[in-house]
Amino acid sequence: MTIPVTAGNSGKDTAGTNAQFFIAGRPIPQGSLKFINGHAIHVRAQDLALWRADIARVAKSIIWEKAVESVEVHLTFTLLKPKTVKRNEPFVRPDIDKLIRAVLDGLTGVAYDDDQQVTKITAVKEYGTIEGVLIRITDKAKLSRNLVNAETVIDDYFNTYTD
């Protein structure tokens, strides 16, 4: 059995905000502020702006439409392991919560309207050979619709080919 797809809409029913992509480059944390003459200034404002712009640019090329309901986000941050470090896990700066904030803000307006739509987030910080972040976004409403469609296809298959 085939499920008809509207002409010109091929793939959008399963793609949408369900996406996975990698952003190469040194992950920049968001949150380290310095106060100068009573004004809060981000320590690496220019680097942070470029990092978030890279995230938004790649996300725009992958994501068909913004989520209108809740989303789940999984992030895997990869950092280069210094030659002198013996430990296997990077329990050093940058803090994982600040790395998360930068990515979520980079996805705002592209994957979703506001990062308050993120209802579940998992994040990992690890050593690897290429610095960057692997981002996986799941539109929970779209996932539910796809599961219902899959159940319908399976039911139709068994009703057609049994007996």
Question: Residue 23, SS3?
Answer: strand
Residue 159: pLDDT above 90?
no
Here the tokens at position 100 are: 């998360």
The pLDDT score that the predictor gives to residue 126 is 96
Per-residue pLDDT tens over the stretch 35-66: 677 776 666 688 899 999 999 999 999 988 89
Q: Provide φ and ψ at 141, rounded to 5°.
A: -65, -45
Show the CA angle centred on residue 45, arms to residues 42 and 49, nearest 5°.
Answer: 135
Give residue 35's identity as a one-letter amino acid code.
F
pTM over 0.85: no
> What pLDDT score was predicted for residue 13?
42
Using one digit for the tens of pLDDT, what is the confidence trace for 81-90? 988 888 888 8
**Alpha helices per DSSP H over 63-139:** 96-107
